[in-house]
């Protein structure tokens, strides 16, 4: 799997501003500062495609990035959708409430959405709002792809145990990831391609 190209397509602070979907889409969601932008940059191997920040909570828009990739000798496109971070405690309640409809509206109404990557910090595990998001995804039938990031912050001896505990707590698959070392990148791409039906389609009919 090679990323041939990745570029910003559109950003919007309300759903009506978004362009109609063109290719399969995967959403990325997580608490502010969990490492969502870094994860997208690491996936596409562009250091600065998505702005990362040490001042949390400053991305309020939905941003779409288009990736052109090659897998099994064929080219395909996939749109990665960076959703606003949630759960930033220092924001006002009113401001936090205003984000819910944007995130939930996108996840429930966007045709062509194939799955949602839910990003957790391996050191903290799921917080209440992460669990709410997972429940919401279940209720609208969007496939969750759970990623535990920043695994480089744990000593290697503790990673396996932490991942096993998370898998048990969430009763499902959890992909360990580090945007610093690239650990987990292949596993996550494999999951994204399969959820997007890109791999299956390309193995079958020519396009």
Ligand X SMILES: Nc1nc2c(ncn2[C@@H]2O[C@H](COP(=O)(O)OP(=O)(O)O)[C@@H](O)[C@H]2O)c(=O)[nH]1
Residue given tokens 């080219």 in the structure block:
75
CB nearer to Mg ion: pick between 59 and 196: 59
And the tokens for 42? 């690491």
Is 52 or 132 the residue whose CB approaches ligand X more closely? 52
Of residues 150-189, which lie at the interface with ligand X (CB under 6 A)? 150, 152-153, 178-180
d(CA 70, CA 5) in angstroms, rounded, equals 10
CA distances from 173 to 14, 92, 145, 168, 201 (A): 32, 34, 8, 9, 24
Considering only residues 41-80, where is the footprint of Mg ion by CB under 5 A? Answer: 59
Select from 6, 149, 166, 198 the one that contacts ligand X (CB under 6 A). Answer: 149
Residue 186 CA to residue 182 CA, distance in Å, equals 9
* Residue 37 touching Mg ion (CB under 5 A): yes
Could you give the 3-state DSSP secondary structure of residue 41? helix
Choose the binding region for ligand X from 52-60, 62-70, 134-142, 188-196 (rule: CB under 6 A).
52-60
Both tokens assigned to 108: 């429930």
Give yes or no for residue 53 binding ligand X (CB under 6 A): yes
* CB of residue 169 to ligand X, shortest distance in Å: 20
Q: How far is the CB of 119 from ligand X (least distance, A)?
A: 7
Residue 30 binds to ligand X (criterion: CB under 6 A):
yes
Beta pairing partners, 119: 30, 147
Residue 144 tokens read as 């969750």
Contact positions vs ligand X (CB under 6 A) = 30, 32-38, 52-54, 56, 85, 149-150, 152-153, 178-180
């Amino acid at each position: 799997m090679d990323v041939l190209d990745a570029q910003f397509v559109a950003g919007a602070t309300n759903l009506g501003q978004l362009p109609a979907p063109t290719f399969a889409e995967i959403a990325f969601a997580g608490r502010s500062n969990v490492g969502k932008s870094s994860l997208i940059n690491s996936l596409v191997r562009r250091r600065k495609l998505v702005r990362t920040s040490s001042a949390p909570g400053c991305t309020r828009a939905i941003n779409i990035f288009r990736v052109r990739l090659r897998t099994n000798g064929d080219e395909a496109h996939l749109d990665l959708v960076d959703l606003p971070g949630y759960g930033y405690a220092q924001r006002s309640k009113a401001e936090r409430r205003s984000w819910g409809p944007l995130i939930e509206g996108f996840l429930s109404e966007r045709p062509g959405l194939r799955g949602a990557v839910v990003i957790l910090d391996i050191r903290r595990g799921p917080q209440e709002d992460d669990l709410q998001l997972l429940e919401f995804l279940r209720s609208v039938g969007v496939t969750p792809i759970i990623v535990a990031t920043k695994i480089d912050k744990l000593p290697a001896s503790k990673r396996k145990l932490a991942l096993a505990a998370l898998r048990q707590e969430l009763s499902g698959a959890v992909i360990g990831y580090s945007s610093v070392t690239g650990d987990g990148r292949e596993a996550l791409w494999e999951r994204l391609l399969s959820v997007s039906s890109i791999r299956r389609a390309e193995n079958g009919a020519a396009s």
